[in-house]
Structure 1
Amino acid sequence: MHILLKNVRIVAPSSPFHGQQQDILIENGQISRVAPDIAANGAEVVTGHNLHVSLGWMDVFAHFCDPGQEHKEDLQTGSQAAAKGGFTTVMIVPNTQPALHTKPQISYVLSHTGGGPVQVLPMGAVTKNLEGASLAEMYEMHETGAVAFSDGIKPVQSPGLLLKALQYVKAFNGTIIQLPDDQSISAHGLMHEGIHSTRLGMPGKPALAEELIIQRDLELARYTASNLHITGVSTAKGIALIAQAKAAGIKVTCSVTPYHLSFTDADLAHYDTHLKVNPPIRGAEDVAALKEAVLNGTVDCFATHHQPQEWDAKQVEFEYAKNGMIGLETCFGALRRHIPQLPLEQLITMLTVQPRRIFNLPQPELKENVPANLTVFEPDAQWTFSTADIASRSKNSAYIGTELKGKVKAVINRNQAQFS
């Protein structure tokens, strides 16, 4: 590898070059030189309009469907989608067939994703077969390389079982990830319960289904003094509960999705099945509260909730469509468009430093003579997202045809580069 990033602004608060406009020469996977006006000398030159570079971005909640549902996505296409979206590290949920609930399944993911620029980190299941009945062998999975523990898109419903899981992971300072959804309340809902669900004649999912789980899980985290991460927070009260818990010293962190910051339940007026997600798209007041929580630091990081679905799963009546939307390729552009007041440095910190800090992962560096783990992007580029911009095997995105702001040019990691 011999790449020269030409005239790039460096956005990396931990770097001695933070805020500077420099050239960066990368040789054999290492940042060999950072200086103005470096001569190319045969290097592949990367240029652009208002080009920026940061440490490689990280996503904390994506579904690669492999093994078992490779017609939706597999580890390779998922990794390509991640690189296209600027991510060099992705945590994937265990909702596969078979589930990632034993040591061999964790080994399968790690052994099949070692070759590209994207590091794929599997979550181990909290419960055996994701059935919510008994704990999986979390310690063995941790020893094998599971980065955190979650039942993914099927959150643990039993408070007693989650209590045991939170106690169990304390032995190795692990983290439990919960998607907040009380399925006994929300099971038959198709969208956010409110005036728009009434107008559209669709059964609603009340905000209560999310808020009860958040309140319950925060109390369990308080009792156990264990690490809890709540992802996909979508309601104003839910994020307020988390803010209160943080102030009280509970060891909780949280993430929100770009699509919960982009759309409201009013956008379902035409029954767009791409917007059928769980937790559902909420009301305008909820979206405003989430944006404020991002700006004031209550939200720790972003999670794409990349959930591919095949064409047949979405091209049906809304009632029968499956939940989920792809999100890796649109994350940065959607955030830049829908929270324009978010300072770029804060956004990049939420994509780089904070997710790694939450899950106790090594922090990359941006200085000379260290391995290159970088994302190259144009933060102000205006562009219209189309199916041609999708590297995922699935195309289920509500952003198709919409204008986004901020475009990824390349990722460089593990002595490899992928250009968008």
Structure 2
Amino acid sequence: MCIFTAVFHDAIPMRVLLSQVKIVDSRHHTLSAPCDILIVNGYIDRIADRIDDETAERIELPHAHVSPGWIDLFADFGDPGFERKEDVRSGCAAAAAGGFTEVCLVPNTIPVIQSKAEIDYLLHKSRELPVTIRPLGAISKDLEGKALAELYDLYAHGAVAFSDGWQPVQSAALLLKALEYVRAFDGTIIQLPDHQSLSTHGLMHEGIHSVRLGMPGIPAISELIQVQRDMELARYAASRIHFTGISTRQAIEAIARAKQEGLQVSCSITAYHLALTDACLEDYDTNLKVIPPLRSQEDVDALKQAVAAGIIDAFATHHRPQDIESKQLEFEYAAPGMIGMESFFGIMNRELATIDLLDKIAMLTTRPRSLLGLPEVEIAVGKEANLTIFDPDKEWTFEEKHIRSRSHQTPFIGQRLKGFVYGIFAKHQLVLHSSSPE
């Protein structure tokens, strides 16, 4: 087996041959027989059963599948302002290792992503990297929830959607203005489903385990109220809203009803909300402190059923790196968040083992791109190669050697996962894992 590992600034072969891969095309609901894909100067030159080209760098990987490049709807690289936790370069390395060729970044930086200058900074810093940054522009100035940011200016200079990130807009009046404003250019508002008047002092899901552990809880109703309120505002504004990190049965049921009514609402979930519950917090592991919090087994079961029913539109990693100093504290004082890119597919694929592979890939490709109004990625001759390369059936143990993020704060180290990402081909660059899946 030949494995070519590309470093971001290294010269790469102008001709790359992906040998005997299965193409996963969720647009046409097909999975191809093994074939060869020849990429010349970053563009797909040929697709055939067998291609003989001695001048090409031949890439042979066991049971390799190729799909359009995956997109992450909600992640945090901490750059600018929090580079000690993550920066654009390390974040893009983590994204590539996780199979993501495009990443939507939250505006919770210093300075906030609220003007052309901050967007230009992100786009310039990632220009030579294989992962495309898709900035989420701030809804409110300085993320204070008091006055609208310059939404159209942000849109005109590259913001693909608008969000206050980890600080969801609490003012109904301000959110309504934002929904009305973005309607003019068919923009999307992204909200974390958290009504902070009910969750401010909470540390974990409110339930039997929070009582037993003696920690203040975040009730499921805090998510439900935020979702219901924001959907009604979207209805009034005849605009579009997306909820990221949905975690409760009640919120899923509300979104399902709204979709049946024809409301322009969509939602995404994380992998860790599929794999973990509030019962996992018995050791007070601060890596499990996240927002929205880990919920009950009933909620986890409802998430999986909602994926099967087609209620969930997409996935989001909620990759939120923290440094050791922010996590090695008492649970109450630890910062929320965990890294989520490198292990994402293996966790999600393991937890959704009964869901058809084409449906899972659609939730990473066609559906999120449609939500953001981005052009489709096609695996076809003449098209620029934007590909994720993976084995959906490979079982492997997630270890620290697989982490490319600057942060290593995750509870999944040592776990057996199903589905290994070999790497990506994007922006004329091939990036493959240098670490074995075992």
Asked if these proteins are the same fold (TM beyond 0.5), I'd say yes
What's the CA shift string for 1:194-216, capped at 9, x where partnerless? 00111111111111111100010
- Read off the aligned partner of 1:48 and give its amino acid letter: L
TM-score of the aligned structures, taking structure 2 as reference length? 0.94
Q: Are 2:135 and 1:122 equivalent residues in the alignment? A: yes
- Which residue in 2 is equivalent to 1:53? 66
- Read off the aligned partner of 2:229 and give its amino acid letter: R
- Which residue in 2 is equivalent to 1:167? 180
- Read off the aligned partner of 1:20 and give its amino acid letter: A
What's the CA shift string for 1:316-356, capped at 9, x where partnerless? 11111110011111111001111110111110111110000
Q: Are 2:166 and 1:153 equivalent residues in the alignment? A: yes
- In the alignment, the residues of structure 1 paired with residue 377 and residue 50 of structure 2 have an alpha-carbon distance, to the nearest angstrom, of 25
Q: CA RMSD in A?
A: 1.1
Q: Are 2:126 and 1:108 equivalent residues in the alignment? A: no
- Which residue in 2 is equivalent to 1:343? 356
- Read off the aligned partner of 1:11 and give its amino acid letter: V
- Read off the aligned partner of 1:261 and give its amino acid letter: L
Within a 5 Å distance, the mapping from 1:32-71 to structure 2 comes to: 32-71=45-84
Judge conservation of contact 1:118–1:413 (CA < 8 Å) in 2: yes
Q: Secondary structure at the match of 1:11?
A: strand
Q: Secondary structure at the match of 2:178?
A: helix
- In the alignment, the residues of structure 1 paired with residue 162 and residue 382 of structure 2 have an alpha-carbon distance, to the nearest angstrom, of 34
- Which residue in 1 is equivalent to 2:264? 251
Q: Are 2:368 and 1:355 equivalent residues in the alignment? A: yes
Q: Secondary structure at the match of 1:146?
A: coil
Deviation at 1:19, TM superposition (A): 2.1
1:281 to 285, 291, 294: 294
Q: Secondary structure at the match of 1:378?
A: strand
Which runs of 5 or more residues in structure 1 are unaligned?
none
1:385 to 393, 398, 409: 398
- Read off the aligned partner of 1:269 and give its amino acid letter: E
- In the alignment, the residues of structure 2 paired with residue 367 and residue 214 of structure 1 have an alpha-carbon distance, to the nearest angstrom, of 39
- Read off the aligned partner of 1:241 and give its amino acid letter: A
Deviation at 1:130, TM superposition (A): 0.3
- In the alignment, the residues of structure 2 paired with residue 195 and residue 87 of structure 1 have an alpha-carbon distance, to the nearest angstrom, of 37
Q: Secondary structure at the match of 1:369?
A: coil
Judge conservation of contact 2:26–2:361 (CA < 8 Å) in 1: no
- Which residue in 2 is equivalent to 1:321? 334
Which runs of 5 or more residues in structure 2 are unaligned?
1-13, 434-438
Within a 5 Å distance, the mapping from 1:17-32 to structure 2 comes to: 18-32=31-45
What's the CA shift string for 1:239-259, capped at 9, x where partnerless? 110000010111001000000
Deviation at 1:113, TM superposition (A): 1.0
- In the alignment, the residues of structure 1 paired with residue 423 and residue 92 of structure 2 have an alpha-carbon distance, to the nearest angstrom, of 13
- In the alignment, the residues of structure 1 paired with residue 239 and residue 309 of structure 2 have an alpha-carbon distance, to the nearest angstrom, of 24
2:249 to 236, 239, 262: 236
Deviation at 1:372, TM superposition (A): 0.5
- In the alignment, the residues of structure 2 paired with residue 262 and residue 3 of structure 1 have an alpha-carbon distance, to the nearest angstrom, of 37
- In the alignment, the residues of structure 1 paired with residue 393 and residue 254 of structure 2 have an alpha-carbon distance, to the nearest angstrom, of 34
- In the alignment, the residues of structure 2 paired with residue 151 and residue 78 of structure 1 have an alpha-carbon distance, to the nearest angstrom, of 20
- Which residue in 2 is equivalent to 1:397? 410
- Which residue in 2 is equivalent to 1:306? 319
Deviation at 1:26, TM superposition (A): 0.8
2:279 to 241, 266, 279: 266
Q: Are 2:155 and 1:142 equivalent residues in the alignment? A: yes
Q: Are 2:244 and 1:201 equivalent residues in the alignment? A: no
- Read off the aligned partner of 1:136 and give its amino acid letter: A
Deviation at 1:15, TM superposition (A): 6.3
- In the alignment, the residues of structure 2 paired with residue 17 and residue 228 of structure 1 have an alpha-carbon distance, to the nearest angstrom, of 30
- Read off the aligned partner of 1:152 and give its amino acid letter: G
- Which residue in 1 is equivalent to 2:26? 13
Q: Secondary structure at the match of 2:363?
A: helix
What's the CA shift string for 1:80-131, capped at 9, x where partnerless? 1000000001000000011001121111111111112110010100000001
- In the alignment, the residues of structure 2 paired with residue 5 and residue 145 of structure 1 have an alpha-carbon distance, to the nearest angstrom, of 32
Q: Are 2:87 and 1:87 equivalent residues in the alignment? A: no
Q: 1:320 to 1:16 in 2, by over 3 A?
A: closer
Judge conservation of contact 1:333–1:407 (CA < 8 Å) in 2: yes
- Which residue in 1 is equivalent to 2:237? 224
Deviation at 1:49, TM superposition (A): 2.0
Q: Secondary structure at the match of 1:269?
A: helix
Q: 1:116 to 1:222 in 2, by over 3 A?
A: same
- In the alignment, the residues of structure 2 paired with residue 212 and residue 18 of structure 1 have an alpha-carbon distance, to the nearest angstrom, of 41
Judge conservation of contact 1:15–1:365 (CA < 8 Å) in 2: no
- Which residue in 2 is equivalent to 1:181? 194
Judge conservation of contact 1:232–1:256 (CA < 8 Å) in 2: yes
Judge conservation of contact 1:175–1:229 (CA < 8 Å) in 2: yes
Deviation at 1:43, TM superposition (A): 1.9
- In the alignment, the residues of structure 2 paired with residue 141 and residue 302 of structure 1 have an alpha-carbon distance, to the nearest angstrom, of 24
TM-score of the aligned structures, taking structure 1 as reference length? 0.98
- In the alignment, the residues of structure 1 paired with residue 15 and residue 429 of structure 2 have an alpha-carbon distance, to the nearest angstrom, of 10
Deviation at 1:40, TM superposition (A): 3.8
What's the CA shift string for 1:19-52, capped at 9, x where partnerless? 2320111110011111122124132222222111
Q: Secondary structure at the match of 2:347?
A: helix
- Which residue in 2 is equivalent to 1:412? 425
- In the alignment, the residues of structure 2 paired with residue 411 and residue 114 of structure 1 have an alpha-carbon distance, to the nearest angstrom, of 16
